[in-house]
């Protein structure tokens, strides 16, 4: 209870720090995602990590409609019926910082993976599960001395949503979990906070306006303007099926079997379901802001680099997945105008035991004022403010800088380490990223080449030795657009303009040097 109290007071302090906006949002306030909700959303998002699905797909292990791969070749969240094991996402948090993002694999549950990866370092950590863990995971986690275990209150890891014959084991497991819970020091709880006012509208507005959607709208002006809403509706349906229990009575049954009788009465039950629905809607909205649309993706603009294996990009599905994580992180920003999120992943040479293929988490961050500072300690204004002294730029720590500073793993030179940033890295961050040994950058390119009064984005375009994958229409042209299609024409024009700009820049440099 004490810990829950601490968390509440921390969150309400954060709510007080939300500041009035210059951008004229309808509320006059920029809402921020609470840390509790962010961790919860990331745990759901990890449940959807595509790497394992890909591996299984390539091994041809799809098992029809009940198997892990659904008709669209996507992970449906359900593993084989006989095993009754659901795929689970997990976020490990230490001192309010994310130190691990995991998801279950064919062989291991997310909780078991956390024990393998962190060992005794799990002591005093807070764990956020996308499903209530089973007894096999809980006994090890409790034994490691974790502080809190929070879980998404739908169908647990050992499914209670199955036929009576096989649910006997599931019920026994739920009982064992309750027994472990009552004898453990760790606080095992459902930790969903209602979203702050206007959060959903704010996320909708900013997702639609984000670079990725706007670039599609710009390059393919003839594209169905509703593609974003269509994509969002699809995501909402998909995630509701995965993360909510549609039948209220069945949901109550599950909650009762999981020891949550106190949540089965109204208004608690309806509040719980509403909070769950809001978070699912938010996740779907953010996910559709980096859409799987036509031939858009993260591509290298330099055609000479494309064929070198070192520079090869991740499968688009995984790149998009990591960028959505970065976009979720951006909703924690302390900059009331521009939110930026960054997440760093690395890839081992061989596949690992968890559900992320060979990938593992290095660190993440968002743009914020120095740790421990209070609202009004530092200036918040942008470069439209005449008085340079009260501009934010010299004080705010960038998303990439926080991700690098608070990383929980070393960056190894022999491994492919990748950073996903929601915005083009600025001139302060580019040399940091390169110097840290990061091999690939996935980003938008909206401000590339811009020099603003206090911040500039000149170095990203010129950066060498680090592969850059920006959000664009597949430049290989292998997507079969007609030559006279507007998208193709636009690309050619943009490329020519870029080349012209580069030529002018080079000329300018030469004149300065002489």
Ligand X SMILES: O=c1ccn([C@H]2C[C@H](O)[C@@H](COP(=O)(O)OP(=O)(O)OP(=O)(O)O)O2)c(=O)[nH]1
Catalytic residue numbers?
Answer: 400
Give least dist CB 423 to ligand X, A.
6
CB of 472 to ligand X, least distance (A): 19
**In whole angstroms, what is the distance from residue 370 CA to residue 375 CA?**
11
Segment near ligand X (CB under 6 A); pick from 28-36, 109-117, 311-319, 395-403: 395-403
Within 330-349, the residues that bind ligand X by CB under 6 A are: 335, 337-338, 340
203: Cβ–Cβ under 8 A, 6 or more apart, which residues?
282, 285, 286, 331
What DSSP letter does each residue of 218-277 carry, written as one string?
HH-TTS-TTHHHHHHHHHHHHHHHHHS-S-HHHHHHHHHHTT-GGGSSTTHHHHHHHHHH
Residue of 210, 400, 466, 469 that binds ligand X (CB under 6 A): 400
Least distance CB 203 / ligand X (angstroms): 18
For the four alpha carbons of 485, 491, 496 and 500, in that order, the dihedral sign comes to positive
Binding segment toward ligand X, per CB under 6 A, in 37-45, 258-266, 345-353, 420-428: 420-428
Candidates 336, 398, 407, 439; binder of ligand X (CB under 6 A) is 398
Instruction: Kindly identify the residues of this chain, within the stretch 277-336, that bind ligand X according to CB under 6 A.
Output: 335
Q: Which is nearer to ligand X, 48 or 342 (CB)?
A: 342
Nearer CB in complex with ligand X: 112/401: 401
What DSSP letter does each residue of 319-340 carry, written as one string?
A: HHHHHHHHHHHHTT-S-SS---
Q: Are 357 and 321 in contact (CB under 8 A)?
A: no
Helices (H) then strands (E): counts for the chain: 17, 11
| Tokens describing residue 273 | 């379901």
Instruction: Give the separation between CA 395 and CA 117, rounded to whole angstroms.
Output: 35
Q: Does 383 bind ligand X (CB under 6 A)?
A: yes
506/227 Cα distance (integer angstroms): 39
Kindly state the smallest distance separating residue 421's Cβ from ligand X, in Å. Answer: 6
Q: How many residues bind ligand X (CB under 6 A)?
A: 18
| Contact letters for ligand X, residues 440-469 (x by CB under 6 A) | -------x----x--x--------------
Reading the block at residue 165, the tokens are: 């014959």
Please identify, using beta-carbon distances, which residue of 167 and 367 lies nearer to ligand X.
Answer: 367
Q: Which of 159, 382, 441, 481 lies at the binding interface for ligand X (CB under 6 A)?
A: 382
Do residues 347 and 312 touch, judged by C-beta distance below 8 A?
A: no
Instruction: Please work out, in degrees rounded to the nearest 5, the angle formed at the alpha carbon of residue 477 by the alpha carbons of 473 and 478.
Output: 110
Q: Which of 20, 87, 102, 31 is nearest to 282 (CA)?
A: 31
Q: Which of 37, 130, 367, 417 binds ligand X (CB under 6 A)?
A: 367
Nearest in space to 63 (alpha carbons), one of 45, 82, 50, 47: 82
Task: Choose among 93, 18, 10: nearest CA to 331.
Answer: 18
Beta bridge partners of 397: 368
Backbone angles phi, psi at 120, to 5 degrees: -70, -10
- Enumerate binding residues for ligand X (CB under 6 A): 335, 337-338, 340, 367, 382-383, 396, 398-400, 423, 425-426, 429, 447, 452, 455
């Amino acid at each position: 209870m004490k810990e829950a109290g601490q968390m509440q007071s921390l969150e309400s302090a954060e709510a007080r720090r939300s500041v009035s906006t210059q951008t004229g949002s309808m509320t006059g306030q920029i809402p921020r995602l609470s840390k509790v909700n962010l961790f919860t959303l990331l745990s759901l998002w990890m449940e959807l990590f595509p790497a394992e699905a890909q591996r299984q797909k390539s091994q041809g292990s799809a098992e029809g409609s009940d198997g892990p791969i659904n008709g669209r070749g996507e992970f449906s969240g359900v593993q084989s019926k006989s095993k009754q094991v659901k795929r689970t996402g997990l976020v490990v948090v230490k001192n309010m910082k994310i130190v691990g993002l995991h998801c279950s694999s064919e062989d291991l549950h997310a909780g078991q993976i956390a024990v393998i990866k962190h060992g005794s370092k799990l002591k005093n950590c807070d764990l956020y599960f996308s499903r209530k863990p089973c007894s096999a995971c809980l006994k090890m986690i409790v034994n490691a001395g974790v502080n809190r275990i929070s879980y998404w209150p739908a169908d647990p890891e050992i499914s209670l949503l199955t036929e009576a014959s096989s649910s006997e084991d599931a019920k026994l497991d739920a009982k064992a979990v309750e027994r472990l819970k009552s004898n453990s020091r760790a606080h095992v709880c459902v930790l969903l906070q209602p979203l702050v006012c206007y959060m959903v509208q704010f996320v909708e507005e900013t997702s639609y306006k984000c670079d990725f959607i706007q670039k599609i709208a710009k390059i393919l002006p003839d594209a169905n303007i509703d593609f974003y809403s269509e994509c969002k509706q699809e995501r909402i349906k998909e995630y509701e099926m995965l993360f909510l229990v549609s039948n209220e009575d069945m949901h109550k049954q599950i909650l009762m079997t999981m020891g949550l009788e106190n949540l089965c009465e109204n208004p608690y039950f309806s509040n719980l379901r509403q909070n769950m629905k809001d978070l699912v809607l938010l996740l779907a909205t953010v996910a559709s802001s980096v859409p799987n649309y036509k031939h858009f993706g993260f591509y290298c603009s330099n055609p000479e680099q494309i064929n070198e294996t070192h520079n090869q990009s991740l499968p688009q599905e995984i790149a998009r997945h990591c960028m959505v994580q970065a976009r979720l992180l951006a909703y924690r920003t302390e900059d009331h105008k521009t939110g930026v999120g960054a997440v760093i992943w690395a890839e081992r040479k061989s596949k690992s035991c968890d559900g992320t293929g060979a990938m593992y988490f290095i660190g993440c961050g968002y743009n914020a004022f120095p740790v421990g500072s209070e609202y009004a300690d530092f200036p918040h204004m942008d470069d439209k403010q005449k008085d340079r002294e009260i501009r934010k730029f010299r004080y705010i720590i960038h998303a990439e800088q926080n991700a690098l500073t608070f990383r929980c793993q070393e960056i190894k030179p022999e491994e492919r380490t990748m950073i996903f940033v929601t915005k083009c890295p600025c001139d302060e961050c580019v040399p940091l990223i390169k110097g840290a040994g990061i091999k690939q950058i996935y980003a938008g390119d909206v401000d590339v080449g811009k020099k603003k009064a206090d911040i500039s984005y000149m170095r990203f375009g010129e950066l060498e030795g680090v592969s850059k994958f920006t959000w664009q229409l597949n430049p290989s042209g292998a997507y079969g657009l007609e030559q006279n299609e507007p998208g193709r024409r636009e690309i050619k024009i943009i490329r020519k303009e870029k080349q012209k700009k580069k030529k002018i820049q080079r000329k300018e440099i030469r004149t300065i040097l002489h």
